Amino acid sequence: MPGVGAVVVAAGRGERFGAAKQFLPLDGSRLVDRAIAACAAVADAVVVVLPTGITWDGSPAATPVVGGATRSASVRAGLDALVARDPATEVVIVHDAARPLADRALFDAVVAAVRGGADAAVPAVPVADTIKRVEGDRVVATLERAGLVAVQTPQAFRTAALRSAHVAGGEATDDAALVEAHGGVVVWVPGSPRNFKITDLADFDRAAALLVPEPR
């Protein structure tokens, strides 16, 4: 899409997983390569944010940059590189490499929402489970489930809104939280249960099973 760029966040070290999962193969393609291909289908330019010491050996269509100590710092590095590469970028997509099953419809939906006037758009699914807040091993509160959603990537942003939010600083588990805190208008579009984040080996097995064609 004209004026659309993307940042693929792949700078994690994988301490909890036990390996840098974004470089592991899923059905013949690494997670990071799947994320880049999905972004390249809708974006003029793609920047991939990598851990320190990694030499990029993937698609030449993606510009590699080194990430920071936190997710927000890594996105800032990717955003700076993207704008330097294409100053005319109007909409920025931020996508986690650990979500290999995001389909084209999600990308189109978040970009359309930003084109429609939002500062940011995120895909989300309603929370199905009862959510409780805990302190140690003690449950201290049960949250009202109505109105709660679980947020995914890809997320889309007006470039100016995302840059302003990052210039203001702060850390968050997703960039929409920074835009929201900076006073931006954040909307959500329907996400997909298939678009789960790979966090452990069981998730790999689940994703692989979903990629197996159904018998005819």
Distance CA 135, CA 154 (A): 31
Per-residue model confidence (pLDDT) at position 213: 75
Q: Let me know: does 3 contact 90? Beta carbons within 8 Å.
A: yes
Q: Please give the C-alpha separations between residue 98 and each of 154, 185, 188, in angstroms, as whole numbers.
A: 11, 26, 20
pLDDT in tens, the chain (216 residues): 679 999 999 998 766 666 788 999 999 999 999 999 999 999 999 999 999 988 999 988 899 999 999 999 999 999 999 999 999 999 999 999 999 999 999 999 999 999 999 999 999 999 989 999 999 999 999 998 888 999 999 999 999 999 999 988 788 889 999 999 999 999 999 999 999 999 888 999 999 999 887 666
Q: Let me know: does 153 contact 85? Beta carbons within 8 Å.
A: no
Ordered by where they begin, the domains of the chain are: 4-122+150-193 (3.90.550.10)
Per-residue model confidence (pLDDT) at position 103: 95
Per-residue model confidence (pLDDT) at position 150: 94
- The model carries a pTM of 0.93
Per-residue model confidence (pLDDT) at position 14: 64
